Structure 1
Amino acid sequence: MKFYYLLPLLILLTSCSSTKALNGKYRSHKVELGFFITELNFKNENDFMYKFSGDLEHTELTGTYKIVDKNVYLKFNKEKGQIESESDSLTTVEILTGNYHNYDLKNESNIDYHLKYKIRGNKLFSYRIDNGKLVTKSKYYTNTKKFLLFGSKWKSKKSYLKKIN
């Protein structure tokens, strides 16, 4: 009989969702468009490191994040077009291929951000930059052949960042 009294209490407590810290590393589970991988490393309560690498592009940026209603708002330390450098002076390599971003600063519910992700379990789903819609699928390259005659092809699959540790 005591079990029947505890059951609703357990269901109530387990169904409550809390905003937990996102400590750890998240990485693209598929290589988008055959080249690009996004990696987010949430260091402590509100700092992160963003790494985007691909064909001829490699960007490493730092910033702060904020969690509101299962959304993660990322704001970089540098403004659009500013190069993030290890030292005070810029080298020629940093000027040509420096750590900078082209994301406009947006505002939603009085929160300034450059990028936005949706939290679902241990996965982060990104929002589009141009219209703000949630990205559910993206293209990736596969070597599977159909009927042994046709070559490699592009497929669309779920696109998200998966927690790796």
Structure 2
Amino acid sequence: MKIFILILALLLLSSCSSQKKLQGIYKSNKAEFDFFVTKIELKNSNEFNYVFSGDLQHTELSGLYKLSGHNLYLKFSKNKGEIESLNDSLTISDILSGNYHNYDLKNENGINHHLKYKIQGNKLFAYGTKDGQLKKKSKIYTNQKKFLFFGTKWKNKRVYLKKITS
């Protein structure tokens, strides 16, 4: 009987694990299409900074995030096509820097969002913006040919945002 109570107590204690802190900086594990890297900094006050950069493109945006189950919803502070500037007036560099996004505002379960990610451990997996399906693989350029001496160097690899700092 004592062993049964001990096993039951251990099961209850192990099931009461604390939820991991989501705040921190997440960065792409591999550059998509050999160019594009995403970096998201989640802050304590449900605010985030979003950086998307690669091949002559660099976008820095901010906004608020919400959690619902294992999903993370990002809503930018600016609407589609609006330029985010540090000042009240726009400069040529603000216009050319591309600090705007082309994501439509969506609503799911009463949560307005531009981007959606699935949380699995210390990783964030992106949902497609057009079809809403979970994207776990993307084209990655490698130094290895598909076949021994010929074939493409593009492979479908698992892509996600990995937590790099807390």
TM-score where L is the length of structure 1: 0.91
Contact 1:138 1:157 in 2 (8 A): yes
1:156 aligns with 2:156: yes
Moved over 6 A (4+): none
1:9 CA drift (Å): 3.3
1:17 CA drift (Å): 6.8
1:2 CA drift (Å): 4.4
Aligned equivalent of 1:78: 78
Q: Taking every aligned residue pair, what percent have the same amino acid on both sides?
A: 60
Q: Taking structure 1 as reference, are residues 60 and 2 closer, same or farther at Cα in structure 2, changes over 3 Å only?
A: farther
Superposed counterparts of 1:1-165, under 5 Å: 2=2, 4-15=4-15, 20-145=20-145, 146-147=147-148, 149-150=149-150, 153-165=153-165
- In 2, the alpha carbon distance for the partners of 1:19 and 1:113 equals 23
Contact 2:24 2:43 in 1 (8 A): yes
Contact 1:23 1:44 in 2 (8 A): yes
Q: Which moved more, 1:7-16 or 1:44-53?
A: 7-16
- In 2, the alpha carbon distance for the partners of 1:2 and 1:106 equals 55
Give unpaired runs (5+ residues) of structure 1: none
Q: Which moved more, 1:154-163 or 1:95-104?
A: 95-104
1:12-36 CA-partner distances (Å, limit 9, x unpaired): 4433576554111101101101100
1:5 CA drift (Å): 1.8
- In 1, the alpha carbon distance for the partners of 2:61 and 2:82 equals 11
- In 2, the alpha carbon distance for the partners of 1:19 and 1:83 equals 36
State the secondary structure of the residue aligned to 2:75. Answer: strand
Contact 1:143 1:151 in 2 (8 A): no
The one-letter amino acid of 1:50's match is: Y
- In 1, the alpha carbon distance for the partners of 2:24 and 2:117 equals 15
The one-letter amino acid of 1:84's match is: E
- In 2, the alpha carbon distance for the partners of 1:18 and 1:127 equals 26
1:144 CA drift (Å): 1.2
TM-align CA RMSD: 1.9
- In 1, the alpha carbon distance for the partners of 2:124 and 2:17 equals 16
- In 2, the alpha carbon distance for the partners of 1:121 and 1:35 equals 26
